[in-house]
């Protein structure tokens, strides 16, 4: 809230934003731009693959893809004219093999697949035909040439470019597949780069929205949200800006209301000082007069109560100071606090027609921190018990040393307050510490506003203590666990 200062300017800004037309390109065009990048990249990759093959053919590294098909008849004629065939006689675009009259392969450079196709070709008795065809690849052809010794030379070829060097042909995949694989790898790299570029662009376009959400989440509302050039993003930013302005207006109203409440409470607390001073002064005068012992006791209790009220008033005023009161960190001996609580509880019970029964242990030099707050919490429990117990019954107080719940190594002052009343209802056990909750709504007319147990719960949380509520066989029990400090602490 300290970042928010009511300045009265946001209404004018809101009107300006609402009247301002947000322009920008549609998000679909932003996305389409990257599809264009992919298309251009794809065309470039295809052109690069084709160009690479053309350069390799022109430089004599590869045979053209139709070289074997165009020259196979001439190759067959040359072999038949010589009557024999050697490895150097056959270009690398052909796979060749010599079969004897029994159909057994005698020599050649067939791989397993080519040998299988050649044998099928000879079984069919063809001279020149397609021996294999696939929708995903070029067809495979075969041709035969008769040799002078009666053997047959079979040539296997296809429409793919081949290395001119047989050593390269046998060492590497066919050039067309290799180039296509290279193109596919380059295409994948291009897609990755475009995706990274698109991701960076989206992050940049959405960064004003992320920044606005972060600043609004930290209640920093006095800023203007930057816009971009994407229409849909600007529409979302406009909606976020409207939310920011609405939240700012709401918080400013809340801030003004809280300020007014603080000022009113501070003024009322300050005004209470005068009547309390009068009460204390008159009590002091009574104590100096000739009163009987019981009257002096009553006058002393009036004076002590007025002093407590004076301290409470000072604490209320301190809540509205910019720096915390030094009393928030005061410590006191645990035994002294228990003695003070028992004295006040007996006076309060006597005034209301109840009895107090006390059991307590001695705590030696052990102390409690935030002593004033802790004593106020103890008296809240006593007051709550006296408010709900049947008249003329006994309220039991017990003070003992215990282990702090949730921290087995820490010691605590345990205070149990038990009454002989109807106990807590199921709803009250679940909601008794809520602000303004009252088990009996009629108690509002008795000056009870459902704040006592809520205040105790909050003070216990602040001071690392614990409040427990439960029912016993005789009534209700409220228990405080207040951390104990060693003397040196």
Q: What is the pLDDT of residues 134-153, one digit of tens each?
A: 666 678 899 999 999 889 99
Q: Which residues contact 310 (CB under 8 A, 6 or more apart)?
A: 273, 276, 277, 280
Separation of alpha carbons 94 and 87, rounded Å:
11
In a domain, residue 202? The reply is no
Separation of alpha carbons 25 and 228, rounded Å:
10
Separation of alpha carbons 306 and 304, rounded Å:
5
State the residue for tokens 């801030």. Answer: 255
Separation of alpha carbons 32 and 52, rounded Å:
30
Beta strands 105-108 and 162-163: pairing type? unpaired
In a domain, residue 140? The reply is yes
Separation of alpha carbons 380 and 452, rounded Å:
6
Contact 463, 384 (CB under 8 A): no
Q: Which of 111, 126, 159 is the last residue of a domain?
A: 159
Q: Which residues contact 276 (CB under 8 A, 6 or more apart)?
A: 306, 309, 310, 313
pTM given for the model:
0.44
Q: Which of 116, 140, 159 is the last residue of a domain?
A: 159
Domain that holds residue 142: 72-159
Mean pLDDT of the chain: 82
Tokens found for residue 94 = 């052909």
Give the pLDDT confidence score for residue 179 in this predicted structure: 83
Contact 286, 292 (CB under 8 A): no
Separation of alpha carbons 462 and 474, rounded Å:
31
Q: Residue 293 burial (CB < 10 Å; 0-12/13-18/19+)?
A: exposed
In a domain, residue 356? The reply is yes
| Number of domains within the chain | 2
Q: Which of 376, 388, 395 is nearest to 482 (CA)?
A: 376
The CATH number of residue 459's host domain is 3.30.565.10
Give the pLDDT confidence score for residue 392 in this predicted structure: 87
In a domain, residue 85? The reply is yes
Give the pLDDT confidence score for residue 229 in this predicted structure: 79
Q: Which of 143, 159, 175 is the last residue of a domain?
A: 159
Please list the residues that pair with 62 across neighbouring strands: 163
Q: Which of 435, 440, 397 is nearest to 415 (CA)?
A: 397
Give the pLDDT confidence score for residue 325 in this predicted structure: 45
Q: Which residues contact 165 (CB under 8 A, 6 or more apart)?
A: 92
In a domain, residue 100? The reply is yes
DSSP class per residue in 323-380: S--GGGG-EEEHHHHHHHHHHHHHHHHHHHT-EEEEEE---TT-EEESHHHHHHHHHH
Give the pLDDT confidence score for residue 326 in this predicted structure: 44
In a domain, residue 435? The reply is yes
How many residues in total does the chain contain?
489
Give the pLDDT confidence score for residue 53 in this predicted structure: 86
Give the pLDDT confidence score for residue 273 in this predicted structure: 64
The CATH number of residue 145's host domain is 3.30.450
In a domain, residue 296? The reply is no
Give the pLDDT confidence score for residue 318 in this predicted structure: 62
In a domain, residue 48? The reply is no
Angle between helices 175-217 and 27-58 (to 10 degrees): 160
Tokens found for residue 82 = 């010589």
Pick out the chain residues at pLDDT < 70.
Answer: 1-23, 126-128, 134-137, 266-267, 269-271, 273-274, 314-329, 436, 438-451, 487-489
């Amino acid at each position: 809230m300290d970042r928010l200062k009511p300045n009265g300017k946001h209404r004018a800004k809101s009107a300006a934003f609402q009247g301002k037309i947000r322009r920008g390109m549609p998000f679909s065009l932003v996305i389409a731009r990257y599809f264009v990048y992919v298309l251009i990249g794809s065309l470039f990759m295809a052109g690069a693959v084709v160009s690479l093959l053309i350069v390799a053919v022109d430089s004599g590294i590869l045979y053209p893809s139709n070289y074997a098909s165009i020259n196979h008849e001439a190759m067959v004629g040359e072999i038949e004219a010589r009557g024999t065939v050697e490895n150097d006689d056959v270009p690398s675009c052909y796979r060749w093999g010599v079969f004897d009259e029994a159909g057994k392969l005698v020599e050649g450079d067939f791989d397993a697949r080519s040998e299988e196709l050649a044998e099928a070709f000879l079984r069919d008795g063809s001279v020149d035909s397609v021996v294999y065809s696939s929708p995903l690849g070029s067809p495979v052809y075969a041709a035969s040439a008769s040799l002078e010794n009666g053997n047959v030379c079979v040539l296997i070829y296809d429409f793919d470019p081949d290395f001119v060097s047989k050593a390269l042909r046998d060492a590497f995949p066919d050039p067309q597949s290799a180039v296509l694989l290279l193109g596919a790898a380059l295409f994948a790299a291009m897609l990755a780069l475009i995706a990274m570029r698109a991701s960076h662009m989206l992050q940049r376009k959405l960064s004003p929205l992320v920044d606005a959400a972060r600043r609004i989440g930290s209640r920093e509302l006095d800023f203007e949200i930057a816009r971009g050039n994407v229409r849909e993003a600007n529409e979302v930013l406009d909606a976020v800006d409207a939310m920011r302005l609405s939240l700012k207006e709401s918080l400013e109203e809340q801030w003004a209301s809280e300020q007014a409440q603080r000022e009113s409470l501070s003024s009322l607390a300050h005004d209470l000082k005068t009547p309390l001073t009068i009460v204390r002064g008159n009590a002091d005068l009574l104590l100096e007069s000739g009163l009987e012992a019981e009257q002096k006791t009553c006058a002393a209790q009036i004076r002590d109560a007025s002093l407590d009220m004076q301290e409470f008033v000072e604490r209320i005023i301190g809540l509205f100071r910019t720096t915390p009161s030094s009393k928030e960190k005061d410590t006191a001996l645990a035994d002294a606090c228990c003695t003070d609580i028992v004295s006040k509880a007996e006076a309060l019970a006597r005034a209301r027609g109840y009895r107090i029964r006390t059991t307590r242990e001695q705590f030696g030099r052990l102390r409690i921190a935030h002593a004033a707050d802790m004593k106020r919490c103890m008296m809240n429990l006593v007051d709550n018990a006296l408010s709900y117990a049947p008249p003329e019954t006994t309220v039991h107080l017990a003070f003992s040393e215990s282990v702090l719940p949730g921290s087995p190594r820490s010691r605590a002052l345990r205070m149990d307050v038990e009454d002989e009343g109807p106990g807590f209802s199921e709803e009250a056990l679940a909601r008794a510490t809520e602000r303004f909750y009252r088990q009996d709504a009629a108690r509002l007319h008795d000056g009870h506003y459902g704040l006592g147990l809520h205040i105790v719960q909050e003070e216990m949380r602040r001071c690392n203590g614990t409040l427990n509520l439960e029912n016993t066989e005789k009534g209700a029990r409220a228990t405080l666990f207040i951390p104990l400090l060693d003397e040196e602490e």
